[in-house]
Amino acid sequence: MNPKLYASAIEKKKGPIFIPFTVLGDPDKKTSLSIIQALIENGADSLELGLPFSDPPADGPVIQAADTRALAAGITVDDCFDLLTSTRSMTDIPIGLLVYFNLVLQRGIDKFYKDCAESGVTSVLVADIPLEHSEEVISIAKKYGIAPVFIISELTSEERMQKIAAIAEGYLYVVSYLGVTGVEESVLEEKISAILARARKYTDLPLCIGFGISSPESATSAIKAGVDGVIVGSRIVREVPNIENVATICRELSEAVRNAA
């Protein structure tokens, strides 16, 4: 897939994009696909999908519980790639994958990214791989046309931000606060604006914010701070497996992003 799909999505929408997140295979394979379809049909401009993992250090209790449900249902990485292929058949929007490095290593780095390409994945964020050890992963990702996505935060130094900007593709994931996902936090527009201003000195990639976006109000605040995209995970995952509730939350957040632009 084209790593510039995120920038194209923003250009097409003429404003910030809405990126909902769910865990692949939660609570089972069939329901998971229905949830993804509900996200697509209710305003998703892009998707971020997680591979279920037994020990996700960046994720809070809501997403940890989703991982547990998927693993308890027997979901494998092969199942996840089946779901990704089915998702790609339903939409041409960017599909981002959030994964922990152990799952990439278990499959083999080359095979993992080859499978990503064949199933229509646009980008991969390996949440727990440090910049200093990412060279092999980045080279193989780019070999298969998969955009490597990296996280930046208020603690990212100027030197490190410049290095990340030089190798990242797709978009940069801006952390709105320090901690794990799913914590109810107010979005501080001034703080986010400062992170964005620093990042834009080094890159023209879209800057998409995650962590702590749980309501139309917090999404609106993030847009006012100047982000190019809003990523919402725990608020949506909390409603699984109620597809109707997932659709409602997705629609409300999508409308908030559109109206705030």
Q: Which residues are catalytic?
A: 48, 59
Can you name the residues that pair with 50 across neighbouring β-strands?
A: 23, 98
Which two three-digit tokens encode residue 257?
């992003």
Which two three-digit tokens encode residue 145?
């046309």
Q: Which residues contact 211 (CB under 8 A, 6 or more apart)?
A: 175, 176, 177, 179, 180, 181, 183, 185
Q: Which residues contact 237 (CB under 8 A, 6 or more apart)?
A: 21, 22, 23, 26, 62, 63, 66
Task: Specify whether the CB–CB gap between 41 and 162 falls below 8 A.
Answer: no
Q: Tell me the pairing of strands 147-152 and 17-23.
A: unpaired
DSSP 51: P
Q: How many residues does the chain have?
A: 261
